[in-house]
Amino acid sequence: MKHYYLVLIITFIISCNSSKKETLETHLYTNELINETSPYLLQHAHNPVNWKAWNDTSLQQAKDENKLIIISVGYAACHWCHVMEKESFEDSTVASVMNKDFISIKVDREERPDVDQIYINAVQLMTGSAGWPLNVVALPDGRPIWGGTYFKKEQWIVALGKMQKLYEEDPQKLLDYADKLEEGIKSMDLISVNTDEMNFKAFPTKEVVGTWLNTFDHNFGGTKRAPKFMMPNNLEFLLRFGTQNNDELVQEYVFLTLDKMAYGGVYDHVGGGFSRYSTDMKWHVPHFEKMLYDNAQLVSLYSHAYQVTKKTLYKEVVEETLSYVAREMTNKEGAFYSSLDADSENSEGELEEGAYYVFTKAALQKELKDDYKLFAEYYNINGFGKWEKDNYVLIRKKSDEEITQEFSISQEEFIQKRKNWKQQLLVFRNKRPNPRLDDKTLTSWNALMIKGYVDAYKTFQKKEYLDAALKNANFINEKLLQSNGALHHTYKDGRSSINGYLEDYAAVIDAFIGLYEVTLNEKWINEAKELTEYSYTNFYNEENHMFYFTSKEDQKLVTRSFEYRDNVMPASNSVMAKNLFVLAHHFDSEKYSKTASNMLHIIQPEIANYPGGFSNWLDLLSNYQNKYFEVVVVGDKAIEKVSELNKIYIPNKLIAGSTTDKKSPLLELRYSEGETLIYVCVNNACKIPVSEVSEGLELILEDN
């Protein structure tokens, strides 16, 4: 304490003699991130930089003191964010530059995707590319004037010095630039009115897919470039397109990609689950962070692919990934965590990317003993699988059948050996320091994981999958749904915070529709409708028929944007449009139907030029280009028959049903005492009801 007061006295003397006449308060700024709950912000809470969180107080302080703002955006699992922290933000020289002239704000992009989108668009405009860490200098009013991604220490110091000098000597130049950049940011999400006649049937989907195929890697799957992201929604649409159109080339590409991803080092062969992306063309060396949203979507994708192929590999991927999620990404409340870091401590106690996941040949030989030769061939402990520093990232080239033939071993014996290897190496690996966990809960990502569990349950009928989905859905209702019908975006340490974004509403609505389809509990479909109505009230734009990303109740940013381009996650507007399409059938709602078709119509002109950025919209478009089936099951055995129907891959259907008489549009007057009937309908025009699932499937297939 004496030392603390001595520092205060010295600081006071310096402040009194300062030629700039700075106040004592200016010198006493401290790092305020210690008060936050975000694991990413807490990682920076002990930097010498006087970091602040993004809030009204921090922004107002910049205005009051007329200081430039440094806005630094990242996330807990980001490797290069950690590198820049170590090189710059932990450095006292860098900190003194930042603390002297700037208000420095740290942002967790996962907590504040609205803030991230504004500034990543700005850097995209300024430099032509963007990513994380994202570092921006803004005027005191928050408008960006300069930025980039990762900077080395000296680059960062020099750049900040130049920006401050320009701000002092020629501020008008920066103001003029900010005006132009603001116009550019607003134009990036400008949605043009489509004046063409609405005609979804005429859209040349086959030609668009044919052109799109030219960008695909037909040796290793994915795209013809590195890094390779898995893009589940692209593959979901292509799986549907290939299956419905009997397009063998598209199907082969999808299954090749799924096989190679599952064989690759991007998949954790020991613990299950996928890393975020591959740094190379063959899916070998990942950027080792594991994100909940990737694994949620990939569980759905591999479940659907299994429905089409019945391929054992896809079932194993789903089972192992969900085991990983249950073991490492789920808390006692049933909530799902956000991510595992790419970095963990190596044997020297230093953070190193991938240290937890890789193996040396010597360690494997010691652990596996007589099984090493077989293991090494299966997982390529050779030149194909070698990474760096004599470490190997496990990767497969051969199928189980090829390996069993080569080593003259039975399939049963090999499967048992492989199971033993995974258990043994997981125990061995867990003796190492674990990757850091981002244990915050995000509503939208949790909803994606509900959907993943539901899709796995539909396919494999494992009760624990449905139990996990229901537990999380109830958690969302109890902890994240407010009394006024609004959702919170994040939850940590027993506290919900940050008003929900469109992505939260869209994903939860989709998840609740899925829960209704497996439980037939009308609670879930009714809650989906309630959240939809809340979205209309707080997010909907009457002029362009799209939904804003932020609520009308939220703080005003540089611009209020629309998220409509699909990426590693489908865009919130494309998910919402699909929700509305489905809910329009359930509730016989012309409002929902018109909004969905208007949204698709507005986006339609952009789809052909960049199908990879609009694949979820293409999936919705397929509902208009093909017959869409309302499959309604009513009677005592409705749940049993729905379970059988859900096992079959029919992407152009919805499920409704009840074990009792109900008054909703799809169920009214369809209950018959003592019978369980299956109605197959298209736009409320139904065929004669049947009692057997096989008969119902025949009606769909003959009309599909």
> Could you tell me whether strands 339-340 and 437-438 are parallel, antiparallel, or unpaired per DSSP bridges?
antiparallel
Q: Taking residues 101-108, what's their average pLDDT?
A: 97
Position 24 scores a pLDDT of: 35
- Higher confidence at residue 556 or residue 97? 97
Q: What is the CA radius of gyration of the chain?
A: 27
Catalogue all structural domains in the chain, each as residue range(s) with its CATH number: 23-188 (3.40.30.10), 200-346+438-625 (1.50.10.20), 357-431 (no CATH), 629-703 (3.40.30)
Dist CA 243 CA 251 (whole Å) = 7
Residues paired with 229 in a beta bridge: 277
Q: List Cβ neighbours of 183 (8 Å cut-off, separation of 6 or more).
A: none
Position 226 scores a pLDDT of: 93
Q: Taking residues 412-422, what's their average pLDDT?
A: 96
Helical axes 693-703 vs 638-646, angle rounded to 10°: 40
Q: Taking residues 46-53, what's their average pLDDT?
A: 96
pLDDT band of residue 2 (cuts 50, 70, 90) is very low
- Percent of the chain, pLDDT > 70? 96
* Whole-model pTM over 0.85: yes
Q: Taking residues 518-523, what's their average pLDDT?
A: 98
Asked whether the CA dihedral 600, 605, 608, 614 is positive or negative, the reply is negative
Position 239 scores a pLDDT of: 98
**Which of 340, 370, 373, 369 is closest to 357 using CA atoms?**
340
Asked whether the CA dihedral 690, 692, 695, 696 is positive or negative, the reply is positive
* pLDDT higher than threshold 90 for residue 194: no
Tokens in use for 336?
């799902």
Range with lowest mean pLDDT among 558-562, 611-615, 653-657, 685-689: 558-562
Position 19 scores a pLDDT of: 37
* pLDDT higher than threshold 60 for residue 28: no
pLDDT band of residue 29 (cuts 50, 70, 90) is low
Helical axes 232-244 vs 292-309, angle rounded to 10°: 20
Sheet holding 488-492, edge to edge: 441-442, 488-492, 495-499
Q: What is the DSSP string of 530-557?
A: HHHHHHHHHHB-TTTS-B-SS-TTSPP-
* pLDDT higher than threshold 80 for residue 190: no
Dist CA 314 CA 262 (whole Å) = 8
**Which of 659, 654, 649, 658 is closest to 680 using CA atoms?**
654
Angle, vertex CA 277, rays to CA 442 and CA 376, nearest 5: 125
Let me know if 505 is exposed, middle or buried by CB neighbors in 10 A (0-12, 13-18, 19+).
buried
pLDDT tens string 289-318:
999 999 999 999 999 999 999 999 999 999
Contact 515, 523 (CB under 8 A): no
* pLDDT higher than threshold 80 for residue 7: no
Position 185 scores a pLDDT of: 83
Contact 424, 364 (CB under 8 A): no
Residue identified by tokens 């093909």 is 626
Q: Taking residues 19-37, what's their average pLDDT?
A: 63
Dist CA 505 CA 510 (whole Å) = 9
**Residue type, position 578, single letter:** K
Distance of alpha carbon 105 from the chain centroid = 24
Residue identified by tokens 């701000």 is 167
Helices (DSSP H) in 24-152: which residue ranges? 24-27, 39-43, 56-65, 79-84, 92-101, 113-127
Dist CA 78 CA 86 (whole Å) = 13
pLDDT band of residue 278 (cuts 50, 70, 90) is very high
Q: Taking residues 191-211, what's their average pLDDT?
A: 91
- Higher confidence at residue 25 or residue 410? 410
* pLDDT higher than threshold 90 for residue 285: yes
Q: Taking residues 638-665, what's their average pLDDT?
A: 96
Position 195 scores a pLDDT of: 81
Q: Taking residues 153-160, what's their average pLDDT?
A: 96
Q: What is the DSSP string of 577-629?
A: HHHHHHHHHHHT-HHHHHHHHHHHHHHHHHHTT-GGGSHHHHHHHHHHHS--E
* pLDDT higher than threshold 80 for residue 55: yes
Tokens in use for 436?
């850091």
Q: Which helix (H) or strand (E) holds 643?
A: helix 638-646
Q: Taking residues 431-457, what's their average pLDDT?
A: 97
Torsion of CA 217, 574, 209, 399, to 10 degrees: 40
Question: Please, what's the b/e burial string for 156-174 (b: 16 or more CB within 10 A of its CB; e: otherwise)?
Answer: bbebbeebbebbeeeeeeb
3-class SS at 377? helix
Q: Would you tell me how many other CB atoms lie within 10 Å of the CB of residue 510?
A: 22
Dist CA 611 CA 566 (whole Å) = 9
Q: Taking residues 340-363, what's their average pLDDT?
A: 93
Dist CA 171 CA 68 (whole Å) = 11
* pLDDT higher than threshold 70 for residue 26: no
Helical axes 411-429 vs 361-368, angle rounded to 10°: 120
Position 418 scores a pLDDT of: 96
Total residue length of the chain: 704
Q: Which helix (H) or strand (E) holds 498?
A: strand 495-499
Q: Taking residues 47-75, what's their average pLDDT?
A: 96
How far is it between the farthest Cα atoms of the chain? 93
| Mean of pLDDT over the chain | 93
Residue identified by tokens 């998220």 is 563
* pLDDT higher than threshold 90 for residue 247: yes
Position 347 scores a pLDDT of: 87
Alpha-carbon distances of 548 from 166, 516, 561, 587, rounded to whole Å = 35, 27, 6, 24
**Which of 384, 129, 421, 395 is closest to 283 using CA atoms?**
395
Contact 656, 665 (CB under 8 A): no
Tokens in use for 502?
């469109």
Helices (DSSP H) in 430-546: which residue ranges? 443-460, 463-475, 502-519, 522-539
Position 30 scores a pLDDT of: 87
Q: List Cβ neighbours of 383 (8 Å cut-off, separation of 6 or more).
A: none
